[in-house]
Amino acid sequence: MLSVILPSYNEEQMIAVAARTVTGILDEAGIAHELLFVDDGSRDKTWAEIRKASETNPHVVGVHFSRNFGKEAAMFAGLEQAKGDCCVVIDCDLQHPPEKIVEMYRLWEEGYEVVEGIKEDRGEESGFHKFASLSFYRLISKATGLDMSSSSDFKLLDRKVVDTLNKMPERIVFFRALSFWVGFRRAEVSYRVQERTAGVSKWSTRSLIKYAINNIGSFSSAPLHLITLLGVLMLVTAVVFGVVALVQKITGTALGGFTTVILLLLFASSVIMISLGIIGYYIARIYEELKGRPRYIISELCGRDAE
């Protein structure tokens, strides 16, 4: 059986359409499946829609979070709830073309354990968004040592991979990179990002920046090394200024050195502040992980228990 995981947050208009479309495609291809809708604490009628879908469509299973925990948590909840021999994660706004699931499934039947959905293009995006996501992918690719520029959350994972991911103890997770990191036999399927037909994108610029920082922090301690680099640069500057100051002192021209002092002071204190900030950020992460809180809280289930 194939488990299709659909994280949904305020997607009331999309649930019924998504359930109908995906079931239609998979039934036609003769693939046994379940549709796992994970309602990420939506504030609209998403959960009611999922319940309704589960009454009419026997494939539908619903998971309801007690509040919004984010897409990463929703995907991991889906992986933990899934009963299938393989799982596909797909956006429930149908921006990932569901026909591709069949293609992925066939590759899985051939023995591939991870089938990545690769974006052919990034769809419609504004200038700033494009620039920001490009820089993010460049950074994260460097941090993970893997080319992540066209990867997405749309992918198929074999049961073995799902079990491996479920066993990972870390709380702050980045699904896309983690599924690269685990390895396994991989294949790729390319797809075109579709236009959103209903509702709006759930990502604000602020949440995207947070997402980027979190994910770089998950895979790299480069920002900490940056501090050392800044320190060395400071030292070099200090030596140069020191020599200059000494020469001026000896030649008797040491006057009005206030500018230098003030500049140095400002420079040094800003470097120290940045460094403290970065260290603080990593300490905060250690604290977060140490608390060991669950990634999400499920308040309600539907579909499976009702059987």
Give the residues lining the site for ligand UDP (CB under 6 A). 7-9, 11, 40, 68, 70-71, 74, 91-93, 95, 201-203
Query: Which one of 37-45, 89-97, 119-127, 163-171 is the stretch in contact with Mg ion (CB under 5 A)?
Result: 89-97
The CA distance from 58 to 20, in Å, is: 11
Choose between 215 and 275: whose C-beta lies nearer to Mg ion: 215
Choose the contact partner of 39 out of Mg ion, ligand UDP, none; CB within 5 to 8 A by kind: none
Structure tokens at 237: 């500057």
CB of 30 to ligand UDP, least distance (A): 26
Query: Which one of 90-98, 105-113, 227-235, 273-281 is the stretch in contact with Mg ion (CB under 5 A)?
Result: 90-98
* DSSP secondary structure letter of residue 115: E
| Helices 99-109 & 15-28 angle (0-180, nearest 10) | 40
CB of 203 to Mg ion, least distance (A): 8
Binding-site size, Mg ion (CB under 5 A): 3
- Is residue 95 part of the contact set for Mg ion (CB under 5 A)? yes
Choose the contact partner of 108 out of ligand UDP, Mg ion, none; CB within 5 to 8 A by kind: none
CB of 91 to Mg ion, least distance (A): 5
The CA distance from 68 to 71, in Å, is: 9
CB of 8 to ligand UDP, least distance (A): 4
Cβ–Cβ contacts within 10 Å for residue 105, how many?
19
CB of 230 to ligand UDP, least distance (A): 34
Cβ–Cβ contacts within 10 Å for residue 7, how many?
28
Choose between 152 and 275: whose C-beta lies nearer to Mg ion: 152
Choose between 207 and 269: whose C-beta lies nearer to ligand UDP: 207
CB of 307 to ligand UDP, least distance (A): 25
For Cα atoms 78, 79, 84, give the angle at the middle one, nearest 5 degrees.
105
Choose the contact partner of 116 out of Mg ion, ligand UDP, none; CB within 5 to 8 A by kind: none
CB of 237 to ligand UDP, least distance (A): 43
Choose the contact partner of 70 out of Mg ion, ligand UDP, none; CB within 5 to 8 A by kind: ligand UDP
Choose between 18 and 278: whose C-beta lies nearer to ligand UDP: 18
Q: Where are the alpha helices (DSSP H) in 171-257?
A: 175-181, 205-219, 222-251
Q: Where are the alpha helices (DSSP H) in the chain?
A: 15-28, 46-56, 71-81, 99-109, 127-144, 159-167, 175-181, 205-219, 222-251, 258-291
Closest CA to 84 of 104, 55, 64: 104
- Is residue 49 part of the contact set for Mg ion (CB under 5 A)? no
CB of 164 to ligand UDP, least distance (A): 23
Query: Which one of 85-93, 218-226, 241-249, 264-272 is the stretch in contact with Mg ion (CB under 5 A)?
Result: 85-93
Closest CA to 35 of 58, 52, 64, 55: 58
Both ends of the chain: CA-CA distance in Å? 17
Residue of the chain from 12, 34, 72, 93 that contacts Mg ion (CB under 5 A): 93
The CA distance from 50 to 12, in Å, is: 8
- Is residue 113 part of the contact set for Mg ion (CB under 5 A)? no
Residue 156 phi/psi, 5-degree rounding, is -110, 135
Give the residues lining the site for Mg ion (CB under 5 A).
Answer: 91, 93, 95
